[in-house]
Structures are given as C-alpha cells and as structure tokens.
Amino acid sequence: MLGSEGMFSGLIQEPMLIMFFGLLFLFMLVAYKVVKLLIRAMIVAVLAGLFPVFANMFLGMSIPVTIENIIWFSMTGLEIFFVYHILVSIGKIGEILAKPFRRGKVKKVEKVIIVEKGKDKDGKKD
C-alpha cells in the first residue's frame, strides 16, 4: 500500500526525478516536431518528383520523365521546402526578439454619430 503519503510524495523530494521527466517531455516534443518535419519533407519530395509527369499531362510541356529528372525535381523541391522553412523560422525568431521593442497597440477610434433632436440622420425634420 502507498500509505497516507500518496503516490507522488517522493517526487517532490527527488529533484533528479523531476529533471528526468522534464527532459523526457522535452525529448518527446522535439522528436515529434522532427518527425512531423520529415514527413512533410517526404511529401514535398514525392510531389516535386511527380511534377514532370503532371507538367507533361496537364500543361503540355515536354519534360523527359527519367530517373535523373525525377531525382532532380525531388531534390529541388526539398531545397525550396527547407529554405522556406528556415525563412519562416527566422521570421518567427525576429518577431519574438522584436516584441519588447514594439509600441503599444493602437486603439481603434469609434465613430460617434450625433443626431440633433427633431432631425433624422439625413438632416430632414420630422
């Protein structure tokens, strides 16, 4: 039996155990992000490799469909994907770094319409 202390009472007394679970959580988060990025990169590579086929069928182009061309288009698609991903990451880091230097948000000015007594909006009398 656990007694009156409970199951997690020793957790507070063991800082190494807390650090272990923190590192485990961090590892799982980073691994998830990496796997998600790799899956997206594989999808981009396959779609970019199939571009010559679709360009020939639907756009009327005459790109030779060879293994070398498919590999070249796949690699080019991956390069474009990773450059895009790096630029987006730099933009996010830049936003985070610039956040303390931003001015306060500009408040919206509300439009107030004053209607004189006895007149409607168009200025006509009742």
pLDDT tens across the length of the chain (126 residues): 445 555 656 556 677 888 888 899 999 999 999 999 999 999 999 999 999 999 999 888 888 889 999 999 999 999 999 999 999 999 999 999 988 888 766 566 677 777 767 655 566 665
Residues sharing a CB contact under 8 Å with residue 76, sequence separation 6 or more, in sequence order: 48
Alpha carbon 66 to chain centroid, angstroms: 35
CA distance 38 to 47: 14
Q: What is the crossing angle of helices 67-98 and 15-49, to 10°? A: 140
Are 37 and 85 a contacting pair, CB within 8 Å? yes
pTM exceeds cut of 0.75: no
